[in-house]
Structure 1
Amino acid sequence: MASYDLIVIGGGPAGYVAAIRAARYGKKVALIEREKLGGTCLNWGCIPTKAMHRTAYLFSQLQQLAHFGIQVGQIELDFQRVMARKSEVAAALGKGIQQLMQANKIEVYHGTAELIGNREVLINGLVLQASYILIATGSKAAEISLPGASLPNVLNSNSILELSRLPASIAIIGGGVIGIEFASIFAAFGTKVAVIEMSERILPEMDEEISKRLAGMLKRKGIDLYTSAKVGAIRGASPLMVDFVVRVEPKTVSATHVLLATGRSPEFGGLNLDEQGIRYDTKRGIAVDACMQTSSEAIYAAGDVTGGIMLAHVASHEALVAVDHMFGECERLPYEAVPACIFSLPEIAMVGLTEQAAKERGIDIAVSKFPFAANGKALVMGEPEGLVKMIARKQDHVIIGVHMIGSHATDLIQEGVLAIKMGLTSEQLAATIHPHPTMIEVLHEAALGIHGQMIHYATGSK
């Protein structure tokens, strides 16, 4: 029987980060992964889709070169090369994780783990023992009970990454993050795209104004958006037909492919949680406390498997919290300062409270908006679409929300994250010198606008 200080089940953003953290404490660590190191994020999520997003962005930009005074010949998309490149990027990063495991002397087992005790794991017929166990088995594409969901060319967020030919048309069921990212990517590639969303608007968790602005932009790109829509069935073959009802009006969209983008659910099948007395819910995931400890003292869980905020960066930080509690001190993760990034075209990013959420909590707020069109760098880049929206408490001007849509929003949001994490006021942010000409100046102007002092835009806060 091999003994360890920590056994990590799952090699994704929570699992491999936890393993490295424990190794840095000088602990003996084993990591068990059923498929590929890097988990969903690296192999079927964040990295492959962002590689495709980068191609989509460049392809869109190249079609605008005449605007910059550059004349080129016909630009064509090599879809097979696009898909090969996303796999190459993922493989390179996967190899990097393998090297990190070796460098930190972490023993990696490949196979399906089974808990056989509070401190014991069965893997490939071997029994491993540890002082602590961390469950980081992630999530899977949510199953949907829908007639026709198993028809050929009906895809989920994993299988769409295995396409070898560019779809002529695609109907996307689900207007959340996954659906909107793929809608943006394939529309840029020239695919005819329709998005069917059950809620009243796409991206229902985002700030309403930002969501509606993106909807207008996507429609101008030729994407058909159907909201308040309930899908009844998928039928046919070539093309597929998606039947749905918008309020009371029946509609049908035809497409060569259908993507089921209805979210993800925690994955912890086969672990024998019941026998170990670990509390969980099949939909909400494994129950944990603020230090990621389960109802079993020696067993922790982190990442998507806990059913919380299903983002890779959240999973990694939860893993750090868990390991620090095992071998040091627990520091609560600041969930109020978690950024969310959507790689649509253009990008969206947010942190903190939306305007609607702040009002629902009864917070008296000041809201400042600054358009990218008034930013010099945005105009230089030829990307003036977008805005930043900053929300602060009126009583003390402490920043409680930042929402952005536009070029590089996913990079720019970090200043907002830091502001909320540190409890900064709009005056403090406005008093910080921002370099010129840069995109980050939009946040400087928004901070000035909280107290009616914008320089490059006539409208202040409300």
Structure 2
Amino acid sequence: MSTPSYMHRPLREACMVVILGGGPAGRIASIRLASAGKDVTLVEYGTIGGQCLHYGCMPVCALNDVARFLQTAGTYRTLGITDSVSEINFPALLREMQQVQKTITSVLDRETRDAGVRILYGNEGRFDGKQVVVGNEALPAEAVILATGSRPNVPDIPGIESPGVFTPHTLWHIDHLPKELVIVGGGVMAAEFAYIFSRFGCRVTVLSRSSFLKTVDEHIRKRAIRELAGVAIREQAGLVSVERKGEKLHLTIRDEGNDTILECDAALLAAGLVPRSEMIAGVEKRPNGEVVVDDRMQTNLPGVYACGDVTGPPFLTPVARYQGIVAADNILGKDRRRDYSAVPQAINLGYELAFCSDGSRTAKPLVIPGPAGPGTFWSVPASDTGLAKIMVEADGSISGICSVSPGGGLIAGYMAFLMKHHFSVHDFEDFIEVHPSTDGVYGLAKYASEILRKRKDS
């Protein structure tokens, strides 16, 4: 790591804006402010990039790429196209993944510095209710952004710290693949890790305290369960205790009032995230540590803003970046309010299971199988080309979409933008697509437009 920049200048030098935390929210806010001419200091204890780069999105992408490769290789072998399937070298995978992460870290650091941001690495910063303090030195500022992120949710149960129990922050210390892996959690994080490790050859069990993927679209949930067909998903099953016995973990599971013992080689806690705000004082926080903000991302203290995971769900990198922009623009004197009316999301399994909805209860669904194209051609024999779905109001406006395909995330992102700007299915009449493509959403929109026009004319 380079020499901390605060070694080259007095900390007491006035800083116009101080940002605590160099994850997606804090970094994007710092670049926006510096690009507008502000004197910006970004305080980061570890390395820039936050949860997304080091423990979340990027590691999941790295592992998922390999898992998909193994699945595709298995499909080719089943069809007789190839006669062998590669085996995974898990330590090598982790080692090479970390090298790529270091490369990305250096790119983000350079990009941030080139924008004019001063970065202070190496010391834990804190906010004392008036200013940011690094070590024993205070950083005077006219505005502060608190972007300290989140950490894995670790349930308070006996034995949870036992060797062999991992979180996404410690998973990279596994020296070999476990034969039996139990994943604790029932949300997106649990689903993605279940897919990855099942494709790596582990026997995976998921413990979901309530219904598995209970908050997502019904078609997305069914599709996820189909992709996880080799995974044992136990719903309404809570983890009561953990005990290490020799080389094995013994998990006590409470299911419908009955306690049973589940034996495994390792357990992964993938039960979501909690805000990391213990170094923040003087601002209003909820009992779970979330920093309370208004729709300008301002806390109860004038000139003090917060953004990203420290403000609570939905714990999505694009939302964190967006919040950082909202906070920065308000510091710059622009009256910008956050708007969560159309937020796209995706679950990365064999395909990208992407979705977006405005919550309408009056829209009607249209669903079709996904078209064959890049990444789905060889799935036709198994009738497994994904799906496309749109939710359409009577006037043609689009209230939701689902895309299960190799490029579902991209499709959902653009469709969410069109939804926010009130595009309707009728606006797709002149749409010309790229072919071949696995996007079935545009075709559904055209079809819906035709149906609505016929109804109007009849």
Query: Does the TM-score normalized on the shorter chain lie above 0.5?
Result: yes
Q: Is the 8 A contact 2:209 2:237 kept in 1?
A: yes
Relative to 1, partners in 2 of residues 1:378 and 1:81: Cα closer, same or farther, differing over 3 Å? closer
Selected match of 2:311 from 284, 287, 306: 306
Instruction: State which drifts further: 377-386 or 410-419.
Output: 377-386
C-alpha change, 1:252 and 1:427, in structure 2 (3 Å) is: farther
Alignment RMSD (CA, Å):
2.0
Give, as a single letter, the amino acid of the residue that structure 1 aligns with 2:327. A
Q: Which moved more, 1:376-385 or 1:90-99?
A: 376-385
Whole-Å Cα distance in 1 between the matches of residues 254 and 15 of structure 2? 55
CA deviation profile, 1:197-225 (whole Å, cap 9, x unmatched): 0112x211211232123213312xx2111
The one-letter amino acid of 1:320's match is I
CA contact (8 A) 2:277 2:289 kept: no
Match of 2:323 in 1: 318
Secondary structure at the counterpart of residue 111 of structure 2: helix
Offset of residue 448 of structure 1: 3.1
**1:445 CA displacement:** 2.1
| 2-structure distance, mates of 1:81, 1:408 | 28
Structure 2: gaps of 5 or more residues? 1-11, 453-458
Match of 2:281 among 272, 280, 304: 272
Q: 1:320 to 1:70 in 2, by over 3 A?
A: same
Q: Which residue of 2 aligns with 1:25?
A: 36
Match runs of 1:427-438 below 5 Å: 427-438=426-437
Matched, 1:239 2:236: no
Alignment match, 1:406: 405
What are the Cα deviations for residues 246-282 of structure 1, in whole angstroms up to 9, with x where unaligned? 3245443321001111111111112222xxxx21113
Whether the 8 Å contact between 1:13 and 1:39 is mirrored in structure 2 is yes
Contact in 1 for aligned 2:129/2:281 (Cα 8 Å): no
Taking a change above 3 Å as real, the CA distance of residues 451 and 106 of structure 1, as seen in their structure-2 partners, is closer
Q: Is the 8 A contact 1:83 1:164 kept in 2?
A: no
Moved more, 293-302 or 402-411: 402-411
2:232 paired residue among 212, 224, 234:
224
CA distance in 2, matches of 1:281, 1:117: 16
Calculate percent identity across the aligned residue pairs: 26
The amino acid of 1:371's aligned partner reads P
| Displacement of 1:117 | 5.1
- Could you report, residue by residue, the CA deviation over 1:1-28 in whole angstroms, capped at 9, with x for unpaired residues? 2111110000000111111111100111
1:239 and 1:288 map into 2 onto residues whose CA distance is 45
- Give the TM-score normalised by the residue count of structure 2: 0.90
Closer, same or farther: CA 245–212 of 1 in aligned 2, 3 Å: farther
Structure-2 residue corresponding to 1:459: none
- Within 5 Å, give how 1:177-256 maps onto structure 2: 177-200=188-211, 202-219=212-229, 222-237=230-245, 238-256=247-265
Give the Cα separation in 1 of the matches to 2:185 and 2:194: 10
- Would you say 1:106 and 2:111 are equivalent positions? no
Indicate if the aligned counterparts of 2:67 and 2:199 stay in contact, CA closer than 8 A: yes
Contact persistence 2:195–2:349 (CA under 8 A): yes
Aligned partner of residue 31 in structure 1, secondary structure: strand
2:393 maps to what in 1? 393
User: Partners in 1 of 2:429 and 2:335 — Cα distance?
Assistant: 33
Alpha carbons 1:170, 1:257 under 8 Å: kept: yes
Give the aligned partner of residue 363 of structure 2.
365
Offset at residue 322 of structure 1 (A): 0.6
Moved more, 150-159 or 400-409: 400-409
TM superposition shift of 1:379: 4.6
C-alpha contact 1:47 1:86 (8 A) present in aligned 2: no
The whole-number CA distance in structure 2 between the counterparts of 1:445 and 1:53 is 29
Shift of 1:64: 2.2
TM-score normalised by length of structure 1: 0.89
Alpha-carbon shift at residue 300 of structure 1 (Å): 0.3
Aligned structure 1 segments of 4 or more residues deviating by more than 6 angstroms: none
- SS of equivalent to 1:140: strand
